[in-house]
Structure 1
Amino acid sequence: MTHGISGSDRQSKNERREAAREKAKALRDSQRKKDRRSKVVLQGSVILVAVAIVAVVAFAIVTTIKPASPGPRNMLSDGILIGEGLTATPTAALQPGADPVPNLRNDDDDVIRIQMYVDYFCPICGQFEKANGDQLTTWLESGAANVEIFPMAILDRASQGTKYATRAANAAACVADTSPDKYYDFHNSLFANQPEEGTVGLTDPELISLTKEVGVENPRVVENCIKDQKFKNWVADARTRAQNGPIVDSNIEKIAGTPTVIVNGLKYTGALDDAKAFSAFVIQAENTNFNESSTATPTPTPAP
């Protein structure tokens, strides 16, 4: 007996071909769906990565490029005016883009106005302070003179990359902003602890320690101000303004270097480490107030 496939079970060649086509079509459709899903996933991943990159860049820009902010309070002129009893003259803060407002000088009184542009890293500034600091303090305490101090940062290049001149000037600005009546003490302390030029300078913790030693008010606020270098941009702008001028009510146009000392509008050109010469200059300048025709400074002569 012969066994075979019945006619109803046997597929014709056309039917087999059609079945193969249907199977291939199903495979293609399935692959296309997989490809579409993979494409969507890939596009979504690319978008997420792009969004993440934009967020990182935006964060970096926001954290590195800070908007302009006001300068320190009590330094509207870019300097702080210290008067009788070592107290500071209160002022508003200098607003971004604004010009400094000079402190008024009363030509009718007999109070001597001394302006000092100093870099706290400048060794010659330190020599001037060492020679004349005690005399300046005596004049201030008695009310014989006012001293306006302009902190500048010129010697950043000399501190092995730590930018000590800027950090010291910023620290001084932090003290002026929140504890102005302690500024003069801090000014003296910076020179008493002045590091040698060419070193890294004082660290921020050391600067903070000095502010606490002079008894600043709100020491934590001052500490954060120093750590954040809150007035770093103001320090740079104030330096530019001083170097470009004008220096109002004086016989000089701009600040060429530190220390620059001006007495009643007249620049001191004598020996910076000679207390007698400076004292004699101050006595002479007291009676030779600056006016538009003042082109020369009194000649320092030995005090009697």
Structure 2
Amino acid sequence: MSNRNSQAGKAAARERIRAERERQKKKERLRRQLTAVGVVVGVLAVAGGVGYAVLKANEPTGWEAAKEAKLVTPAHTQGKNGTEILIGDKNAKQTLEIFEDVRCPACAAFEQSSGKALIKDIEDGRFRARYTMYTFIDDAQGGGQGSKNALSALGAALNVSPEAFLKYKSALYSVKYHPDEREDVYAKDSELLKVAADVPELRHNKAFETAVTKGTYDRWAMEMTALFGRKGVKGTPTFMHGDKKLVMDQIPQRQMTQAQYNQLAQANFNKMIDREFGPAKGTAGGGAGKGGSTGEGGAKGIREGEKDPTGGR
């Protein structure tokens, strides 16, 4: 082999080696670039996952979430966000306001002693009733839910009829069902449905049961809850006529049976109402405006010319 051919072969070999090295370098650079991209994508994915988890963790839950849910107002309500519950003869000239909390033991005592007398006055057209339902005992008892949950269920009952609302409220306050205020029994839907079985309009009522279990009126209950302190009322039960707070006589502190207590409590309620609205006409029957149905409600809300019982809300 000539020296020239030998030199040419060596040059060609060196070129092949150089080309192979260059190809390997490009391949290594591409590998490093792909690895870096993969790391970035992985970091972004992790960061995105963490961000999503943080967002989910910070989303409101339970009754806080109910504040942001779609507002569904029960039938037979009026006013802003359906927070006016007006029950009684639409021709009644006066409105008695009643403030209650479903877990309130004093409200239960009133209902058990004088609830029927109140409903009779409403049915006789003596006045209409506006109910404002509070839920402050939930907070007072360390984060309970029974007042709010029961109020949502009352919304479902009101959606059926005003009569169903009154009967269900009475059942919730009854000796048979009303729990000690320290026990958050009404936080359970099953307990609310058990009580509803004693109300003819709600027994086996699938629409009512669905509204209770799905929390259809949870947002509405929160709107009612936001009325706490309206007209300065922060305790229950409270009765107001216009801006005037009505006060019942105290029951003497002496030993007595439950029946005797209930009799005195009802007599004191009747006296309070008589003082404010005058004696019932025809106490043997036939009160003023008698014949008004509790289911009529007031199509125009608070009567024109009457002192606004909403307190500007």
Select which of 29, 33, 47 maps to 2:30. Answer: 33
The answer to whether 1:277 aligns with 2:268 is: yes
Name which structure has the greater RCO, CA cutoff 8 Å, separation 6+: 2
- Per-residue CA deviation, residues 186-229 of structure 1 (Å, 9 max, x unaligned), is 01011012110111222111112323431228833333332343
Change in CA separation of 1:222 and 1:58 when aligned onto 2, cut-off 3 Å: farther
Between the two proteins, the alignment pairs up a number of residues equal to 256
Taking structure 1 as the reference length, the TM-score comes to: 0.67
The answer to whether 1:121 aligns with 2:103 is: yes
Partner of 1:231: 217
The answer to whether 1:213 aligns with 2:198 is: yes
Partner of 1:71: 73
CA contact (8 A) 2:196 2:203 kept: no
Taking structure 2 as the reference length, the TM-score comes to: 0.66
SS at match of 2:239: strand
The answer to whether 1:198 aligns with 2:182 is: yes
- Per-residue CA deviation, residues 85-137 of structure 1 (Å, 9 max, x unaligned), is xxxx7xxxxxxxxxxxxxx8525xxxxx4321100101111111122113223
Q: Distance in 2 between matches of 1:175 and 1:259?
A: 21
Change in CA separation of 1:172 and 1:189 when aligned onto 2, cut-off 3 Å: same
SS at match of 1:128: helix
Q: Distance in 2 between matches of 1:69 and 1:152?
A: 18
Shift of 1:56: 6.3
The answer to whether 1:137 aligns with 2:129 is: no
Q: Distance in 1 between matches of 2:34 and 2:203?
A: 65
CA contact (8 A) 1:159 1:201 kept: no
Shift of 1:71: 3.4
CA contact (8 A) 2:171 2:195 kept: yes
SS at match of 1:75: coil
SS at match of 2:129: strand
- For structure 2, the residue ranges without an aligned partner over 5 or more in a row are 252-264, 280-304, 308-313
Identity of aligned residues (%): 20
- For structure 1, the residue ranges without an aligned partner over 5 or more in a row are 90-103, 108-112, 246-252, 293-304
SS at match of 1:213: coil
* Amino acid of the structure 1 residue aligned with 2:276: A
CA contact (8 A) 1:117 1:261 kept: yes
Change in CA separation of 1:66 and 1:218 when aligned onto 2, cut-off 3 Å: farther
